[in-house]
Amino acid sequence: MTPKIGIGIISFAHGHSQTYCQRMLTYDDVRLVACWDDDESRGRMAAEKYGMAYSAHLDDVMRHRDIQGIIITCETNRHAEMALAAANAGKHILCQKPMALTLADCDRMAEEMQKAGIKFMMAYQMRHDPSNIRIKKLLDEGVLGKIGLLRRRHCIPVLLDENFLKGTSRWHIDPVKNMGMWMDDASHATDFIHWMLGRPVSVMAEIENTLTDVSSEDTGVAIYKFSSGAMAVLVNSSVTLAGENTTEVYGDRGVLIQNYDDAVSTAIAPPNGISLKLFTRDNPVWMDLGIDIPASHGERIASVPRAFIDCIKYDTEPTVTAADGRISVEMILAAYQSAKEGRRITF
C-alpha cells in the first residue's frame, strides 16, 4: 500500500480549516496527523473532532516526522511567520489567502520556498470551481475573440452578521491581523482576474465604508487596465445580503455571463438557475453551458485540499503558486493606494 500523506494544521482561526479537514477525512490517501493552535481550547476541540493530535508547541507539528504537508489557516499577519517555519522544516505548504499583508513578506516567503525546494500553494477556491475552469478554457481557446472588458461582482454579507463581528471570526476586521475586508475578500477576485487576463498595468479605485463603520471599509470598486487594452472592473462588498455573484466577459467574438458563483448567492440560487451561458457571433443566442451550481459554498472550498494533496502525491506544480499569491496582494495594495491618494497607480 502507498503510505498516506500526513497533514498538519496550523491554527483553526480561519473557518475554512474546518471544511478542509472535514473533506480530507474522506480521502483514503491522507492522514490528519497533528495540529497547533494558540487558542488551546479551539485546537483541542478540532483535534478531537478530526482525530489528530494537538500540541501547544508549534515545532511539534512543523517537525513531525509523519507530516509531509502543512496547511496554514492562522490570522493573515502570521502567514509569513508560519510559512517560513514550515519551509525551514522541509514541509510542503497550503496557505490560506491572502498570501501576506505586505509585498516584502510575500517575497520572503517565495524566496524561502525556493531555497527549501518545497511546494507552496495558495488556497483560492475560485481556481477549482468548474464554472471558472470553463471560463478560463474558453478564454484560452479564443472563443470570445479579443477581450475588452471583464466585470466581477464578488460580495458577502459578513459585516451585517453579529456572529461574525463578535465571535471568533472577529479577527477578520482587525487592521493589524487582516488589514481590511478589501484585503480579505477582494483577494479572491484579484486572483481570479489575474488568472483570466494576466497581470494588470494600472488600477484606479474607491474603497470605503458605505453602510457600516465596524471595519476600515465595507465596499470597494477597482478598475484594472491591461497591456492588451482590456479592462477589469472588480466590485467587492462585505455588506451584501443577497446577490448573484457574477462574472461578465465581453469580447469581439462573444460574451460569457456567469451567475450564482461564490458564497452570497449559492445557497439561494433558484432551482433552474443557469450557472454559465455563452453568446457568440457564430451562434447568436444564449447557450446554457450545463455547469451545475454547487449545493453549497462549502463544496467549492472543499475542492482546495485535493489539489494540494495531488501536487505532493504526483510531484506536480501547485495550481496557484507563490508568484500568483504575490500578484493578488500587489493588486489589492495598489487599489488601496489609489483610493487613498485619489489617482491611478501603475504596477
Q: Is the pTM here over 0.85, yes or no?
A: yes
Reported for 27-31, long-range contacts at CB under 8 A and 24+ positions apart, including other chains, are 27/305, 27/306, 27/309, 28/4, 29/2, 29/4, 29/5, 29/309, 29/313, 30/4, 30/5, 30/305, 30/309, 31/4, 31/5, 31/6, 31/7, 31/66
**Confidence bin at 267 (pLDDT 50/70/90):** confident
* Range 272-282 burial, b when 16+ CB lie within 10 A, else e: eebbbbbebee
Position 265 pLDDT exceeds 70: no
pLDDT digits (tens, 9 = 90+) for 73-102: 999 999 999 999 999 999 999 999 999 999
| Cα 295 from Cα 299, distance rounded (Å) | 7
Q: What's the CATH number of domain 126-295+330-346, 3.10.450.50, 2.20.25.10, 3.30.360.10, 3.30.420.40?
A: 3.30.360.10
| Domain layout of the chain by residue ranges | 5-118, 126-295+330-346
Q: Is the fold of 5-118 the same as that of 126-295+330-346?
A: no
Mean pLDDT of 45-70: 97
Position 298 pLDDT exceeds 90: no
Query: In this predicted structure, what is the pLDDT of residue 264?
Result: 65
Q: Are 99 and 326 in contact (CB under 8 A)?
A: yes
Residue type, 81: E
Position 266 pLDDT exceeds 80: no
Q: Are 155 and 190 in contact (CB under 8 A)?
A: no
Cis peptide before 98 (omega within 30 of 0): yes
CA 25 to chain CA centroid, nearest Å = 22
pLDDT digits (tens, 9 = 90+) for 88-147: 999 999 999 999 999 999 999 999 999 999 999 999 999 999 999 999 999 999 999 999
**Confidence bin at 261 (pLDDT 50/70/90):** confident
Which cell numbers in the block locate residue 172?
477578520
Query: In this predicted structure, what is the pLDDT of residue 190?
Result: 98
The β-bridge partners of 225 are 202, 231
Which cell numbers in the block locate residue 28?
483514503
Which cell numbers in the block locate residue 324?
500568483
CATH class of 5-118: alpha beta
Q: Specify the range with the lowest mean pLDDT, choosing from 24-33, 296-305, 314-323.
A: 296-305
CA 157 to chain CA centroid, nearest Å = 17
